Amino acid sequence: MARSKSSTRWLKEHFDDEYVKLSQKEGYRSRAIYKLKEIQEKDRLITQGMTVVDLGAAPGGWSQYATELVGTKGRVIASDILPIDPLPFVEFIQGDFTEDSILNELLELIGNDKANVVISDMAPNLSGNDAIDQPGSVYLCELALDMSQRILAPGGAMVVKLFQGVGSDQYIEEVKRSFRQVKIRKPKASRARSREVYVVATQYFSTN
C-alpha cells in the first residue's frame, strides 16, 4: 500500500529531525525529552532526592530523563494506559488513573510523603478535527491538575502539555488558583507549527 504524500513528508521530517537524531545518539526513548530538558534548564524544577510522578509516560523518555535528575535517593513513579518497556529505577503502573483501582494503586505507591513534581506530556489521539481534539487536550490537562492537587506536597511543581485554543486560557487561570507562579514555555523541540505549549506551575499551595 503506497504511503500518502503527507505521511511520506512526516516520515522524512521525523528522520531528518535534529532531536530525533540526538535522542538516538544519546540513548533516549523519544525526542520529547528535549522539551522537558529545556524546561528543566530554565526552571530547575527537579533536583536530587525528589519524588516525580510522570502521567502518560509512554514510551518513557520523560521518566528516563527524570531518573537522571532525582538520582539514587529520589523516585520516579510513572503511569500510562499503554505499556512501556521496563526502565531502571522507574516504578510503573499500567492503567487509566481515572479508574479508582489504578488511582488507589498510584496513591499507595506515592505514600504519605507526597510528590514534589508532576510531569505530563499527555495528548489525545489527534483526529485532525479541532472541535474534538481541543476539548480532549484540555480534559487531559484537567486530569493532570486534579492529580497534582491530590498528590503534590506544598511548594511542589507541575509541568503539563497544553494545546492553545478554546479553553486553554481558562485552564491556565484554573492552574493559577493552586500555584503561586505559572509560566508558559514553548521549547525549541516543539515543532513551530504545533499549538502545543507547556504550563510550568510552581509553588503549589493547597486550596482546601
Please indicate if the annotation marks 100 as binding a ligand.
Answer: no
Check pLDDT > 70 for residue 4. no
Q: pLDDT category, 128, cuts 50, 70, 90?
A: confident
Can you spell out the DSSP letters for 12-56? HHHHH-HHHHHHHHHT-S-TTHHHHHHHHHHH----TT-EEEEES
pLDDT at 207 over 90: no
Written as one letter, the residue type at 166 is: V
Q: Which of 161, 149, 156, 81 is nearest to 120 (CA)?
A: 161
> Residue 208's closest CA among 156, 149, 158?
149
pLDDT digits (tens, 9 = 90+) for 135-190: 999 999 999 999 999 999 999 999 999 999 999 999 999 999 999 999 999 999 98
The set of cell numbers assigned to 57 is 509516560
Is there a binding annotation on residue 60?
yes
Give the separation between CA 104 and CA 114, rounded to whole angstroms. 14
Exposed, middle or buried by CB within 10 Å (0-12, 13-18, 19+), for 120? buried
- The yes-or-no answer on residue 37 being catalytic is no
157: burial class by Cβ within 10 Å (0-12, 13-18, 19+)?
buried
Closest CA to 70 of 46, 87, 38: 46
CATH superfamily label, 5-204: Vaccinia Virus protein VP39 (3.40.50.150)
pLDDT band at residue 85 under the 50/70/90 scheme = very high
Which cell numbers in the block locate residue 15? 528522520
Query: What pLDDT is recorded for position 194?
Result: 86
Q: Is 15 a residue whose pLDDT tops 70?
A: no
96 marked ligand binding residue = yes
Task: Give me the helices (H) in 99-191, please.
Answer: 100-110, 130-151, 168-176
Ligand-binding annotation for 130, yes or no, is: no
Q: Is 146 known to sit in a ligand binding site?
A: no
Choosing from 25, 161, 176, 183, the catalytic residue is: 161
Alpha-carbon separation of residue 120 from 48, 117, 129, 130 (angstroms) = 19, 10, 23, 21
Return d(Cα 68, Cα 1) in angstroms, integer. Answer: 42
Task: Average the pLDDT over 15-29 and give the result.
Answer: 73
